[in-house]
Amino acid sequence: MKVLVLGASGIVGQHLRVSEPQGIEAIYHRRTEDAKYLVSDLTDPAALSAALMLGPDVIVNLAGENRPDVVEQDPKQYRDINVGLPQVLATWATRDSARRYVHVSTQGVFSGNAPPYGPRSPVDPVNAYGMQKAEAETLVRRSSNWIIARLTVILGIRIDTRCRTNVLEQMIEQDKQRHVIDRWFSPLFAADAARGLWALALEEALPGIVHLGIPERVTRYSLACMVKQLLGQPTEQVQPVSHTSFEGLAPRPRDTTWSMDSAYYTLLMDGLRACIQTWKARRAG
Please say if the pLDDT value at position 33 is more than 70: no
Give the pLDDT confidence of 253-283 residue by residue, as tens digits.
999 999 999 999 999 999 999 999 999 998 8
Domains and CATH numbers, the chain: 2-160+188-215+257-266 (3.40.50.720)
Give the pLDDT confidence of 94-152 residue by residue, as tens digits.
999 889 999 999 999 999 999 999 999 999 999 999 999 999 999 999 999 999 999 99
Q: How many CB atoms lie within 10 A of CB 92?
A: 18
Q: Smallest Cα–Cα separation from 125: which of 193, 63, 173, 75?
A: 75
Q: Which amino acid is at 57?
A: D
Q: Which long-range contacts link 240-248 to residues 24+ away (Cβ below 8 Å)?
A: 240/179, 240/180, 240/181, 241/178, 241/179, 241/180, 241/181, 242/180, 242/181, 242/182, 243/180, 243/182, 243/183, 245/178, 245/180, 246/180, 248/69
Q: pTM of this prediction? A: 0.95
Q: So what's the pLDDT on residue 185? A: 98
Confidence of residue 57 (pLDDT cuts 50, 70, 90): very high
Q: Average pLDDT, whole number, for the chain?
A: 94
67 - beta bridge partners?
Answer: none
Calculate the alpha carbon distances from 30 to 9, 145, 217 in Å.
6, 24, 33
Please say if the pLDDT value at position 39 is more than 80: no
60 - beta bridge partners?
Answer: 5, 102
The gap from C-alpha 177 to its chain's centroid, in whole angstroms, comes to 24
Residue 177, helix vs strand vs coil: strand
Please say if the pLDDT value at position 215 is more than 80: yes
- Please, what is the end-to-end C-alpha distance for the chain in angstroms? 36
Nearest-angstrom CA–CA distance, 249 and 39: 31
Higher per-residue pLDDT: 205 or 6: 6
CB 212 within 8 A of CB 262: yes
- Residue 165 sits at φ, ψ, to 5 deg, of -60, 135
Q: How many CB atoms lie within 10 A of CB 2?
A: 13
In this prediction, residues 231-251 reach a mean pLDDT of 92
In this prediction, residues 60-88 reach a mean pLDDT of 96
Nearest-angstrom CA–CA distance, 111 and 126: 5
Please say if the pLDDT value at position 227 is more than 90: yes
Please say if the pLDDT value at position 242 is more than 90: yes
Confidence of residue 36 (pLDDT cuts 50, 70, 90): low
Q: So what's the pLDDT on residue 35? A: 63
Q: So what's the pLDDT on residue 229? A: 97
